[in-house]
Chains A and B, each alone.
Chain A
Amino acid sequence: MADQFVITFQGEVVPGGGKSVAATTGKSVLDAARDAGLEVIATCGERGRCRSCRVKVLKGDAPPATIMDQVQLGHEEVQERFRLSCQMPVTGDATILIAPPKSEAGHKVLAIERREETGAVKLDSGVVKECVQVTLPDDENHQSSDVEELVRALSVEVEAPVPADILRKIPETVRARRNQVTVSLFRGEIIDVQPGDTSDQKLGMAFDVGTTSIVGSLLDLNTGQELASVGGVNPQSPFGGDLMSRIAYIQEDPKRLQTLRAKVLGAVNDYVKEACTLAKVDPQNIHKIAVVGNTCMHHIFLGINPTHVGLAPYAPSMRDPIVLKGSDIPLKTVPNARVCMLPIIAGFVGADTVAAALATRIYESDDMRCLVDIGTNGEVVMGQKGKLLACSAPAGPALEGGQIRHGMRGALGAIERVTIAKEVELQVIGGVDPIGICGSGLIDAVSAMLDAGILTQRGLIRFDDRETFSDTIRDRLRHVGERDEFVLGWAEAAGGEEDITLNQSDVRQLQLAKGAICSGVLLLERVLDIANEEIREIYLCGGFGNYINTESALRIRLLPDVGVERVTYFGNAAGMGAQMALLSETERARANDLAREIEHVAMATHPEFQDVFLDALEFPAAPNADSEATGSRVA
């Protein structure tokens, strides 16, 4: 029989500063923490391949370090009793400090910025809210009913039978305010009845459920005005940083689908409440919700097992749009609202891509245009009026700071800009001391290192040539453990405990990420048989797209060289598209057409994929080709 031990957790993420839980031998410390109701991030899906779940053993025996501990944490941290909690078995009573991943406190999720184009959307949300005075039967000979009188009083046509739960509400509602009732309809179906006149309160919410972040906005369906914007980290993140890890988590045990589903539905319910509190409105007046997300998020949201989306040929279970009652999802904050799930294109090109295409209006362009949606799973859409292609570009989490040694999301304390001249200059979000580096900072840092000749075209940190650099740079080039690294920020200068570095492994992760995005664009160019020059404009989209320096993005070849003037930021296009579908049934119908029209190109099986991808992994030659800087193979 397994022994029981008491594990006490401490750390910032532990409410009240400490929490104890009984755990049996052999259970992982990560699972014990979860049993205690604590959220420990395990970006890699508990496979010992990242540092996010690391803990420090304060009291009790630290079990021998595993090979993964050694690889991820390094000898020094292992000596200091740091371990990866996913790899660490419970072996006795212990007090464990949960070392928080780089603070998420200031997580800056890019709010959906409304653009002129979106503002121009026709307001035809499909929701009609009409206040009527119901003339109730006043004589037994008057052969009628509450419902019939209510329908008779409406100026709009009722095209569907009244749902049972509404029928049950009617007798009380019509009599509550001297027969004054506000009736809400969606596409001709009565979806709610409320006492009194609430017709000026016609609200809706748009959600973009991303792998990493969830963003929601509350809109007034009468005016199109945004009343509140909410968002944060997708609470599924602790169960895997990327889609594949999350699908694998469910594959292991189908019951886990409900765990992940409860996480996302809980978050959406919370955001509904938060938005309503911010805008001082009643959630009952939210009548329509538009949801976009990648295929996997979409499936989990609906409780559909995404297992097969993760296996070739990566087919989704459903692609068509669907409209459900809030109570059928179930979203308990908005039981009567109609929840519109936008359609899907393919297993890895989901409703978020459809929404992004909708927002950028790429479908009506006379010129060749391209939209690149950067996220944990990136997507590329390319084409013009009449022909659009799409492919998935699995970038992984590096561009969001994931699987980067000192990586973090775009939050307080993240390095977001890097310049290297005589000195290394850092710009940090919030102007505070740096605690890590986010995606835009990473792109900037690598771009600056290429320009300074610290990094070769092939992505090698030139530690072996350190003597050829100035003192400032040379001191920053060092070899730690098995890898070379470049120090971006010194601990003493920043008042931190640890130097912030970019090591050879981080550069490789970035290469894989940018190689995936760039090869997506290049491959669609090949399928369409066009050259870079023929692309009139690239829309750079994504929740954090606004923070990327375009010149740096081109310098590292995140995008092919189309010229900086042809790259336009579009911010969170998927979220914008969701708002458009919320405000306008015309736009929602267009999304359905788009999903059918956009042709999916399977990248991995394309005969030219390997060559294109390998080429895209490398960095372009320095513009002022300095042979020293571009470097050759390591000797």
Chain B
Amino acid sequence: MTIEFETLAQAIVDGDADTALALVQDGLGDQKNPDLDELANAKEILNKGLIGGMDIISELWIQEKIFIPEVLISAKVMHGCMDHLRPILEASNEPPRGICVIGTVKGDLHDIGQNIVGMMLKGNGFEVHNIGPNSSPEKFADKVRETGANLIGLSALLTTTMPMQRESIKYFEEEGLLETAAVMVGGAPVTADWAEKIDSDGYAPDAATTVGLAKQLVDDLAEELGQVAATN
């Protein structure tokens, strides 16, 4: 028998680490049953339990029924649960959904939001390299080259540092990084309009939505690259 995924999702929403971890361990315990595919089991826990919980969080966040502290606690619980799933998921040698470099732009020292985004992306199968606050375009670019990332997340929490998102994107363009990587922008003062104005590939208003956007962007990019390859 498998665990109650709804209960696990709710434990994530409630920020109840004890319950969530116990359920994940119970769920993985079942895999000792040789009839069950270990990997499929872990994936089900991830998708129905953890990501299910995060979907609820996203919904509540949009209605502002939950606030930053609660989202952070939930993200931490999810992260804790992921520690148990990761060895199995990684052992399967399945490639990550995408490789993402995230950080807060130069001039901006705020990183609560982007840390949540990082945790959420990790929880959704991305390989995440969080380079932290006050990161120059060069620092982003170096990390992208080093990791072969196909996704860049630029966060700005101040009205005055939003222009640095534009500067960073320009720099990536000049460096030719945008042939193989998409850029998404976010942060409290950032709007969809701004995201379009600075030629980013996408904007998400909150951490949970970012996950959907990230998947979309890497899929689009893969398709685009595939077409390029096909025409060559």
**Chain A interface residues (CB < 8 Å from chain B):** 45, 47-49, 66-68, 87, 240, 242, 244-245, 247-248, 251-252, 307, 310-312, 458-460, 482-484, 504-505, 507-508, 511, 604-605, 610, 613-615, 617-618, 633-635
Cα separation A541 to B194 with both chains bound (whole Å)? 37
Known A-B contacts A460-B65, A634-B66; A244 and B112 likewise in contact (beta carbons under 8 Å): no
Report B-chain residues with C-beta under 8 Å of the C-beta of A47.
159, 189, 191, 194
Report A-chain residues with C-beta under 8 Å of the C-beta of B193.
48, 66, 68, 87
Closest A residue to B158 by beta carbon equals A244
Cα separation A635 to B66 with both chains bound (whole Å)? 11
- At the interface, yes or no: B231 with Cβ under 8 Å from chain A? no
Cα separation A252 to B194 with both chains bound (whole Å)? 13
Residue in B62, B70, B112, B158 whose CB lies within 8 Å of A633 = B70
Across the interface, do B63 and A633 meet the contact criterion of CB distance under 8 Å?
no
Interface string of B60-84 (1 = CB under 8 A from A): 1011111111101000000000000
Q: Is the interface of B mostly helix, strand, loop or mixed?
A: helix
Most buried by A among B67, B110, B112, B192: B67
- At the interface, yes or no: B28 with Cβ under 8 Å from chain A? no
Residue in B108, B163, B191 whose CB lies within 8 Å of A68 = B191
Known A-B contacts A67-B192, A604-B109; A244 and B67 likewise in contact (beta carbons under 8 Å): no
Across the interface, do B63 and A459 meet the contact criterion of CB distance under 8 Å?
no
- At the interface, yes or no: B161 with Cβ under 8 Å from chain A? yes
Across the interface, do B162 and A248 meet the contact criterion of CB distance under 8 Å?
yes
Across the interface, do A617 and B112 meet the contact criterion of CB distance under 8 Å?
no
Across the interface, do A247 and B159 meet the contact criterion of CB distance under 8 Å?
yes
Report B-chain residues with C-beta under 8 Å of the C-beta of A504.
63-65
Please provide the 3 A-B residue pairs with the shortest distance between their CB atoms, ordered closest to farther: A310-B160, A311-B107, A244-B159
Cα separation A600 to B189 with both chains bound (whole Å)? 26
Known A-B contacts A312-B134, A482-B62, A482-B63; A614 and B162 likewise in contact (beta carbons under 8 Å): no
Report A-chain residues with C-beta under 8 Å of the C-beta of B161.
310-312
Report A-chain residues with C-beta under 8 Å of the C-beta of B14.
633
- At the interface, yes or no: B13 with Cβ under 8 Å from chain A? yes
Cα separation A312 to B109 with both chains bound (whole Å)? 7
Report A-chain residues with C-beta under 8 Å of the C-beta of B110.
604
Closest A residue to B190 by beta carbon equals A47
Name B159-213 residues within 8 Å CB distance of A: 159-164, 189, 191-194
The 28 listed contacts between A and B (C-beta, < 8 Å) are A48-B191, A49-B189, A67-B192, A240-B159, A244-B158, A244-B159, A244-B189, A248-B163, A251-B163, A310-B158, A310-B159, A310-B160, A311-B107, A311-B108, A311-B164, A312-B107, A312-B134, A312-B161, A458-B70, A460-B65, A483-B64, A504-B63, A605-B109, A614-B68, A614-B112, A617-B69, A634-B66, A635-B10
Closest A residue to B157 by beta carbon equals A604
Known A-B contacts A47-B191, A605-B109; A311 and B70 likewise in contact (beta carbons under 8 Å): no
Report A-chain residues with C-beta under 8 Å of the C-beta of B13.
633
Across the interface, do A614 and B69 meet the contact criterion of CB distance under 8 Å?
yes
Counting chain B residues whose Cβ lies within 8 A of the other chain, the interface size class is 20 to 34
Closest B residue to A634 by beta carbon equals B65
Cα separation A511 to B14 with both chains bound (whole Å)? 20
- At the interface, yes or no: B123 with Cβ under 8 Å from chain A? no
Closest B residue to A242 by beta carbon equals B159
Across the interface, do B191 and A49 meet the contact criterion of CB distance under 8 Å?
yes
- At the interface, yes or no: B15 with Cβ under 8 Å from chain A? yes
Cα separation A45 to B191 with both chains bound (whole Å)? 13
Most buried by A among B15, B65, B194: B65
Across the interface, do B72 and A614 meet the contact criterion of CB distance under 8 Å?
yes
Across the interface, do A244 and B68 meet the contact criterion of CB distance under 8 Å?
no
Interface string of B90-117 (1 = CB under 8 A from A): 0000000000000000111110100000
CB distance from A354 to the nearest CB of B (A): 23
Report B-chain residues with C-beta under 8 Å of the C-beta of A605.
109
Across the interface, do A244 and B160 meet the contact criterion of CB distance under 8 Å?
yes
CB distance from A506 to the nearest CB of B (A): 10
**Chain B interface residues (CB < 8 Å from chain A):** 10, 13-15, 60, 62-70, 72, 106-110, 112, 134, 158-164, 189, 191-194
Report B-chain residues with C-beta under 8 Å of the C-beta of A310.
107, 158-161
Across the interface, do B112 and A610 meet the contact criterion of CB distance under 8 Å?
yes
CB distance from A236 to the nearest CB of B (A): 15
Closest A residue to B13 by beta carbon equals A633
Across the interface, do B159 and A248 meet the contact criterion of CB distance under 8 Å?
yes
Across the interface, do A311 and B67 meet the contact criterion of CB distance under 8 Å?
no
Known A-B contacts A311-B107, A312-B109, A483-B64; A247 and B191 likewise in contact (beta carbons under 8 Å): no
CB distance from B73 to the nearest CB of A (A): 9
Across the interface, do B67 and A511 meet the contact criterion of CB distance under 8 Å?
yes
Report A-chain residues with C-beta under 8 Å of the C-beta of B159.
45, 47, 240, 242, 244-245, 247-248, 310
CB distance from B131 to the nearest CB of A (A): 15
Across the interface, do B191 and A505 meet the contact criterion of CB distance under 8 Å?
no
Across the interface, do B64 and A617 meet the contact criterion of CB distance under 8 Å?
no
Report A-chain residues with C-beta under 8 Å of the C-beta of B69.
458, 614-615, 617-618
Residue in A45, A484, A614 whose CB lies within 8 Å of B63 = A484
Cα separation A240 to B158 with both chains bound (whole Å)? 13
Cα separation A507 to B63 with both chains bound (whole Å)? 12
Closest A residue to B107 by beta carbon equals A311
CB distance from A78 to the nearest CB of B (A): 17
CB distance from A467 to the nearest CB of B (A): 18
Cα separation A87 to B194 with both chains bound (whole Å)? 12
Report A-chain residues with C-beta under 8 Å of the C-beta of B194.
47
Across the interface, do B160 and A251 meet the contact criterion of CB distance under 8 Å?
yes
Cα separation A483 to B158 with both chains bound (whole Å)? 25
Cα separation A240 to B164 with both chains bound (whole Å)? 19
Closest B residue to A479 by beta carbon equals B63
Across the interface, do B108 and A312 meet the contact criterion of CB distance under 8 Å?
yes
Report B-chain residues with C-beta under 8 Å of the C-beta of A67.
192
Cα separation A48 to B191 with both chains bound (whole Å)? 9
Known A-B contacts A48-B193, A49-B191; A248 and B65 likewise in contact (beta carbons under 8 Å): no
CB distance from B53 to the nearest CB of A (A): 12
Most buried by B among A45, A244, A511, A633: A633
Cα separation A277 to B81 with both chains bound (whole Å)? 71
CB distance from A38 to the nearest CB of B (A): 24
Report B-chain residues with C-beta under 8 Å of the C-beta of A618.
69
Cα separation A419 to B110 with both chains bound (whole Å)? 37
Cα separation A414 to B169 with both chains bound (whole Å)? 45
Closest B residue to A45 by beta carbon equals B159
Residue in B60, B107, B108, B192 whose CB lies within 8 Å of A634 = B60
Report B-chain residues with C-beta under 8 Å of the C-beta of A248.
159-160, 162-163
- Known contacts A47-B191, A244-B158, A311-B106; 9 further A-B pairs (Cβ under 8 A): A244-B160, A248-B163, A312-B109, A312-B161, A604-B110, A610-B112, A617-B69, A633-B70, A634-B66
Closest B residue to A613 by beta carbon equals B112
Cα separation A631 to B146 with both chains bound (whole Å)? 48
Cα separation A45 to B66 with both chains bound (whole Å)? 27
Report B-chain residues with C-beta under 8 Å of the C-beta of A68.
191, 193
Closest B residue to A311 by beta carbon equals B107
CB distance from A519 to the nearest CB of B (A): 12
Cα separation A244 to B157 with both chains bound (whole Å)? 11
Across the interface, do B191 and A617 meet the contact criterion of CB distance under 8 Å?
no
Across the interface, do B67 and A508 meet the contact criterion of CB distance under 8 Å?
yes
Cα separation A209 to B84 with both chains bound (whole Å)? 56
Most buried by B among A68, A248, A505, A511: A248
CB distance from B8 to the nearest CB of A (A): 15
Cα separation A47 to B197 with both chains bound (whole Å)? 12
Closest B residue to A602 by beta carbon equals B109
CB distance from B113 to the nearest CB of A (A): 11
Cα separation A67 to B13 with both chains bound (whole Å)? 28
Cα separation A615 to B64 with both chains bound (whole Å)? 18
